[in-house]
Each structure stands twice: as C-alpha cells, then as structure tokens.
C-alpha cells in the first residue's frame, strides 16, 4: 500500500506513512492506494463475520475488522469498538417519504455519537505511528469531539479550531470534556480550516478529512452496510455532504469492493446539502467545471454549514463512478424530516435528517421508485444538538405529537 495523488492526471505516489497534507507535486488531495488482498472474497467475507465473535479490540472494532483493506504496519491501534452500527427501519419515515424499502444506517451509535469516530480510529492510530504529540482539526463540532476523545485515549494533546457561536453546545461540551484545547475562530468552518492550515505549520498532526487515513476508516461504513445486506448493494445510498470527505470515502469503498469482486453492482450515491450551504449542488446544476465557494453559508444544520468543501473533486468522482447525484433541501424540510425520524424513535441530528428530506423530495418529483431499496446514512445522534429540537419543536405546537403513520 502507498499514498497516491487523487488527481488522476498526476497520480504521484508516496510512501504509505509519509507525512504530507497534500500532493507534493500538484497540491491536490492524497488517497491511500489499496492493493486487493490475495484472499478470495467469499473467504474474506467469512473471516470478517467470524471476527464478530471475538473479544480482541481489533476484531470488536467495526473498522479494523475489515483491516485487509486498511493501512497497515501498526503495533498499536487506538480503538474504542467503533462501527457496528445498526440498520434500522422506520414505519413512519418510510410512509412519509413514500418508500417501501428504506433503512437507516445509524452512525450516531458510535463512541462519541457520530461517524467521525470511524475515521479517528485510523487517523489517530496513524498519528501515534508518526510519533505526533499533538493532533488538531478545524470543525463544525463533531470532528472536534471525536478527535478530542481519541487523542485522550492515545495520550496526545488535541487542539480544535471552532467557528465561534456556530457549534452546538453539546459538541462543544464533548470537546471540553475530553480535554481539548479550544480555539474559537471568528467566521465559519472554512475560515477555521484556513487558519489551522496556516498556523499549524508542522506543530500538530492535522486530522481533518483531507487526511487520507481518516477516510480509510470512514469507508468501512460501506463494508459493514453491505455485509449487513448480504453483500447485495441497495439501489441508493443517501448521505449528507459538508466538507465532502464522507461521501468521497464511500465512493472509494464501493470502487474497491467492486474491483475486488465483493459486489457485482454499485448503489447510486446521493449527496444531500442544505440549501444555504450547497456549493456542490449549485455546481452540479449549472454544469460548471469548478466549484464556486459560498462565502457565507447558512443553515441550522450547523454540522454541514460549509461553503468551501475541500474534497469536492473526490466527491464528484464518487458521483460519476456510481451514477449518483447531489441535491439540496430547505430548512423547513430538514426540520420536518428530523421530526418524523424522531417520531419513529430514532434520534439523529439535523444534518442527518437531510437524507430523509431529500428522499421525500425525490419521491414527490417521481425521481426514485417507490420500491427502490434505499439506505439513508444518519451521521450523528439526536443528543448532538438538543437546542435544535427545543427551538424547532417547542415553538410549533402543530408538530407536537402529530402522527405520520
């Protein structure tokens, strides 16, 4: 395995554990080039399943269980049993969206209640391997909480750059609880990211999703989902998009699994953005070649309040390779979808509810079939943003207790 420039025109390669923030030749983002393991897919599928009966930390982890497709060479893994998240069905949500075959993969069932843990186990493990003392990121909240927890487990210092006033209290509280040093940045996530990149300057190990080791962990969501579905790909996988690291990771996983013969067809990847933070959607609709950043993104789904997503080229390739597409949803649609999910007894944060909102929109427009099999990715837990619930619901008695059956 090695690192490779994600720009196909460049494709420069680097040693697996070299420490770069971007390609040293062309400046584009890096990725990990995985060589398919020399084990037949059916055999490896059995091995992965057997590991679920083991009590070894590297088998309990729903990330490292799939280690044949992950970076290697580590003597110590920083893991907290992340992954192993359920596929949940919801009667009300399915009826509301007009779908017969809808499941949620709930990544809020992770140690810090968000999908970021899947990438932090690999990212922080690599940071320890690289002998880093301090790790850092810019964040809308969840990456910060997860980084802080995994850094604490590994005995590393953590420094997180947060957009002042635009991070949910619950996420901020987690980062504080796990002992991170907090830098409040005036401006949004994009400003915070620019600032850490400028200031970090080798003093910390950088763990935003432009770090390819993070995406390796996050890609295992697709491995686990497909395993749970008997390796039969659904028709659609729907995922919220912010900095677009997660959708890129999913695209990478699907390509690798197809190429190695683990699946014989790909699901279509659907990325969902909030209308006020929708640079990829705008680009997609206009047919432009370059992404035009949004200077002042705005959405109550603060997790995805991002105007200049760094991984847009990778995400675009994932859409092209999976015949996917991107769309946006309004603030009202997000709030209503979140309410319906809640009424099914499933707690997710607002950014995650964009998936259901998008599905209803697509059904109303006749763009997806009622019988289509769909997995919507819930990226974070309801307790990540309790003030959103109180603000959006207590003020609107009409929604209280309403049945969507």
Binding residues for ligand F0G, per CB under 6 A? 114, 116, 139-143, 209, 240-247, 303-304, 349, 351-352, 379-380
Nearer to ligand F0G, 51 or 350 (CB): 350
Relative orientation angle of helices 245-259 and 212-228, to the nearest 10 degrees: 60
> Using CA atoms, how far apart are residues 92 and 404, in angstroms rounded to an integer?
5
Output 148 or 154, the one with its CB closest to ligand F0G.
148
SS3 185: strand
CB-nearer residue toward ligand F0G: 102 or 239: 239
**To the nearest whole angstrom, how small is the minimum distance from the Cβ of residue 192 to ligand F0G?**
9
Q: Whose CA is closest to 350, among 394, 396, 392?
A: 392
The answer to whether residues 85 and 109 touch, using CB atoms and an 8 Å cutoff, is yes
Min dist CB 65 to ligand F0G, Å, is: 22
> Smallest distance, Å, CB 350 to ligand F0G?
8
Distance between CA atoms of 132 and 135, rounded to whole angstroms?
Answer: 7
Please give the backbone phi and psi of residue 18, each rounded to the nearest 5 degrees, phi first.
Answer: -60, 145
CB-count exposure of residue 131 (10 Å: 0-12, 13-18, 19+): exposed
Q: What is the smallest separation between the CB atom of 209 and ligand F0G, expressed in angstroms?
A: 5
Give the nearer residue to ligand F0G in terms of CB position, either 340 or 376: 376
For residues 260 and 340, which CB has a smaller minimum distance to ligand F0G in the complex?
Answer: 340
| Closer residue to ligand F0G in complex, CB, 90/297 | 297
Name the β-bridge partners of 4: 13, 31
How many CA atoms are closer than 13 Å to the CA of 252, on its beta-carbon side?
30
To the nearest whole angstrom, how small is the minimum distance from the Cβ of residue 88 to ligand F0G? Answer: 17
From residue 91, alpha-carbon distances to 88, 97, 206, 243, 377 in Å are 10, 10, 42, 31, 17
* Closest approach of ligand F0G to the CB of residue 376, in Å: 12
Instruction: Supply 48's token pair.
Output: 């992965």
Neighbours of 85 (CB within 10 A): 23
Contacts of 396 (CB under 8 A, 6+ apart): none
List of residues 6+ apart from 273 with CB closer than 8 A: 240, 241, 242, 279, 280, 281, 304, 326, 327, 328, 329, 354
Task: Pick between residue 5 and residue 120 the one whose CB is nearest to ligand F0G.
Answer: 120
**Tokens (6 digits) for 219:** 């890609």
CB atoms within 10 A of CB 124: 31
Q: Which CB sits closer to ligand F0G, 62 or 245?
A: 245
Angstrom distance (rounded) from CA 128 to CA 105? 30
CB of 241 to ligand F0G, least distance (A): 5
Q: Enumerate the β-bridge partners of residue 184.
A: 162
Give least dist CB 203 to ligand F0G, A: 20
Least distance (Å) between residue 211 CB and ligand F0G:
12
Q: Residue 351: helix, strand or coil by DSSP?
A: helix
Closer to ligand F0G by Cβ: residue 328 or 349: 349
């Amino acid at each position: 395995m090695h690192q490779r420039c994600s720009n196909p025109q460049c494709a420069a390669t680097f040693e697996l554990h070299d420490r770069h923030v971007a390609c040293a030749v062309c400046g584009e983002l890096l990725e990990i080039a995985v060589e398919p393991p020399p084990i037949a897919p059916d055999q490896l599928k059995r091995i992965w399943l057997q590991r679920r009966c083991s009590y070894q930390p590297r088998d309990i982890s729903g990330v490292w269980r799939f280690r044949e497709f992950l970076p290697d060479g580590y003597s110590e893994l920083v893991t907290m049993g992340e992954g192993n998240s359920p596929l949940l069905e919801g009667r009300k949500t399915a009826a509301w969206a007009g779908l017969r075959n809808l499941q949620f993969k709930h990544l809020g069932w992770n140690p810090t209640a968000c999908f970021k843990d899947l990438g932090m186990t690999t990212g922080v493990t690599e940071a320890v391997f690289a002998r880093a003392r301090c790790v850092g990121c810019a964040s809308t909240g969840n990456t910060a909480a997860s980084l802080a927890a995994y850094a604490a487990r590994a005995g590393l210092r953590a420094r997180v750059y947060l957009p002042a006033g635009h991070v949910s209290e619950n996420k901020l509280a987690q980062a504080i609880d796990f002992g991170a040093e907090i830098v409040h940045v005036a401006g949004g996530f994009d400003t915070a990211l620019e600032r850490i990149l400028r200031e970090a300057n080798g003093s910390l190990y950088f763990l935003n999703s432009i770090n390819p080791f993070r995406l390796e962990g996050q890609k295992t969501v697709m491995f686990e989902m497909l395993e749970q579905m008997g390796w039969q790909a659904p028709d659609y996988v729907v995922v919220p998009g912010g900095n677009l690291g997660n959708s890129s990771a999913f695209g990478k996983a699907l390509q690798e699994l197809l190429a190695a013969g683990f699946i014989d067809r790909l699901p279509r990847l659907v990325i969902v953005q909030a209308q006020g933070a929708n640079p990829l959607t705008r680009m997609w609709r206009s047919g432009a070649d370059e992404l035009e950043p949004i200077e002042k993104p705005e959405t109550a789904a603060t997790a995805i309040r991002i105007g200049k997503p760094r991984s847009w080229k990778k995400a675009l390739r994932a859409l092209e390779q999976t015949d996917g597409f991107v769309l946006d949803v309004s603030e009202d649609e997000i709030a209503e979808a979140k309410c319906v999910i809640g009424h099914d007894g499933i707690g997710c944060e607002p950014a995650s509810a964009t998936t259901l909102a998008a599905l209803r929109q697509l059904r109303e427009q006749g763009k997806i079939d009622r019988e289509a099999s769909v997995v919507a990715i819930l990226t974070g837990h309801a307790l990540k943003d309790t003030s959103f619930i109180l603000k959006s619901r207590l003020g609107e008695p009409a929604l209280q207790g309403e049945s969507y059956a």
